[in-house]
Structure 1
């Protein structure tokens, strides 16, 4: 066996909400931490869809990990790809062959698109989970519009979003608003009138976790913005220019976004830990991995339950809380105190359905207060400002977001332009 290159008290794999929260809390207590991520930034995932629809730039959704931990010298940020995990030894191996070992190991490595073996989906659609995904999608979206404006014929452009959960609803709504309000200012009304946005899902309603009131509001709002809904029929196949449904419907497609589900990323698969639904690890109530000491699994890498045994959602707020809780349990382990079951403070669900409008179900469990429209939109803004990782980002958001989201006269953001489309 190759000797270990470096040792730490805690190794954290993943710089998302959960990983950053765990590392920050441990760093404040003087614990020596190694945080490993293949990207040098922490991404604000709830707003990736706005990068993908050329409404926001990358700097507004990504923050340097080194900047986050600049005041915590005992937390080392390592830019590397983890290619091997040994949970029993609390050891990880990176793509350059180096190995790192800790007294504790935290797997918060996030997720990737789950295409559910749909023919053509992996090759012909754009997932939306990372900054790279969003930039690639946004670049292709703008390329298609530029080419259509150059040709200036009468053919229609079809943008298809697969998945009626919050990401799919927000993406379809943002695309529809870009088409309706932004394109006439930057291109022409004629080009805007040629664009069609479709939302597809196998279930009969959008936003499955939400109440009937929220579902109906979202459905009406999307339809009012011109989004064509294809609900209750699964996707059978993706071809280079068509989305084919199980009932034989063929939807023309110039660009397809996959928001149809996520699964745990490859780090979890390489760990050898038993995987449950979505390839995630079914963790214990204290967020530890079953059957192995000193290993915590968090965020989109885990199927988590609260202290009452209730399944918890794959939300940024949940991952953020889990990261801080895991850090407290690790400190308890270090000090010889008992760990505590994770207690999730349920803030509810929310999704933006076009600028100035949202649905929000605030509060715990069956007693949630259901909001829709401008009031829900303000709640959405408040929660997302809270989730931002830095004070500068919060101040910038408070200064710009209200006018940006209320006004329809936002800039058409410049993104990179890929050489060729994904399909």
Structure 2
């Protein structure tokens, strides 16, 4: 098609999806979306998959179903391994190359273990759907192992160590507490669940350090009341298949060490030949293009966003819509605009009937049951499809009133099992 602008988007996370979503509404633009998976994952709810609260189908949406009926987008399931900035070409591990008039680099992030000894080999990260499935199997397997052989409890089989007290770590610690205190006692009647322990470790001296002091205090007190033991102001020095060693010298016996301790840009950032900044992320200009390459955008967790914005889904999503607007503006001969993030607030679920919500720039604070309902409402609306929204609400409602976590299938037995060493 004459005058058609070819846009190649690398990555189908919140940034890449929002860019594609807006561009496919435009005439004269063709999108090629490349991702190593065939689905978009709703990362804020991965911890609920890991703790058996909702099904996998409600956090994953295939790209082809999402863009069904759109003739100006091609979906390619491939892993991009390098790019040529000068020719605006991306190369994949599978051997294909894709060239565009515009490149959008939204390859996202991967777990950062900060060179912690043994963490990569012995901990369970929680940053993608594969992580969530693996961790869910590990958590349920721990209770099955303890039920089969109660002597393992003294070796730490029911000790859960969560590294990182940001939203991800705080939310899964609270969800684990709900499982142990509410749902599992009915299913493991003969198991001494009172011996199960949850530890939340962070180098910061506060839970949810990005939140207000009032929210931090509420979160810490709520977790403490539910049995979560806080280890704040401490680092994890090393991780083995039997324990986590803290900077205080404390050894916590555990076979389930959950890593929610930070992110870094995906490996592709190192292969781009572009300037990297904090966390390995690509440096961008105010309009999200890369200096010297006006037809290449980097956004979301893959980029060092202007103003050092937090790595939130809302930031990634807004940057995607903004990038699409700038691509459309360029096509029409209009100037690009500097990215302006609209801060709508932050929120975190602490557990049953407990959440913290801070709304808008002025951070109006909500805690407790009303914040809990607000969190559920907002996240149900943000899910990709109507079916997912309805099913998530139904599953949350059933779980709330029945006090059961229904999705406890151990389907990743090999990945979940840790060989016990004496």
User: Which of the five TM-score ranges fits, normalised by the shorter chain?
Assistant: over 0.9
Distance 1:422 1:79 in 2: 32
Aligned to 1:4: none
Taking a change above 3 Å as real, the CA distance of residues 317 and 167 of structure 1, as seen in their structure-2 partners, is same
Q: Aligned ranges for residues 350-389 of structure 1 at < 5 Å?
A: 350-364=347-361, 367-389=362-384
Distance 1:328 1:387 in 2: 21
Contact 2:80 2:91 in 1 (8 A): yes
* 1:123-154 deviation per Cα after TM superposition (whole angstroms, max 9, x unaligned): 11111111001101111111121111112346
Contact 2:34 2:77 in 1 (8 A): yes
Contact 2:54 2:396 in 1 (8 A): no
Distance 1:191 1:333 in 2: 64
* 1:246-296 deviation per Cα after TM superposition (whole angstroms, max 9, x unaligned): 121111112100000000001222111111111111221111122212011
- For the aligned residue pairs, the C-alpha RMSD in angstroms reads 1.7
The structural deviation recorded for 1:60 is 1.4
Aligned to 2:293: 292
The structural deviation recorded for 1:415 is 4.1
Q: Secondary structure at the match of 1:342?
A: coil
Taking a change above 3 Å as real, the CA distance of residues 94 and 216 of structure 1, as seen in their structure-2 partners, is same
Aligned to 2:22: 25
TM-score when normalising by structure 1: 0.93
Matched, 1:326 2:323: yes
Distance 1:272 1:281 in 2: 10
Taking a change above 3 Å as real, the CA distance of residues 399 and 239 of structure 1, as seen in their structure-2 partners, is closer
Aligned to 2:405: 410
Distance 2:343 2:305 in 1: 13
Unaligned runs of 5+ in 1: 1-6
Unaligned runs of 5+ in 2: none
Q: Aligned ranges for residues 150-165 of structure 1 at < 5 Å?
A: 150-153=148-151, 155=154, 156=156, 157-165=158-166
Aligned to 1:235: 236
Distance 1:73 1:415 in 2: 39
TM-score when normalising by structure 2: 0.94
Taking a change above 3 Å as real, the CA distance of residues 230 and 85 of structure 1, as seen in their structure-2 partners, is same
The structural deviation recorded for 1:402 is 4.4
**Aligned residue pair count:** 411
Distance 1:290 1:77 in 2: 28
Q: Secondary structure at the match of 2:114?
A: coil
The structural deviation recorded for 1:192 is 1.7
Distance 1:172 1:232 in 2: 17
Distance 1:242 1:399 in 2: 38
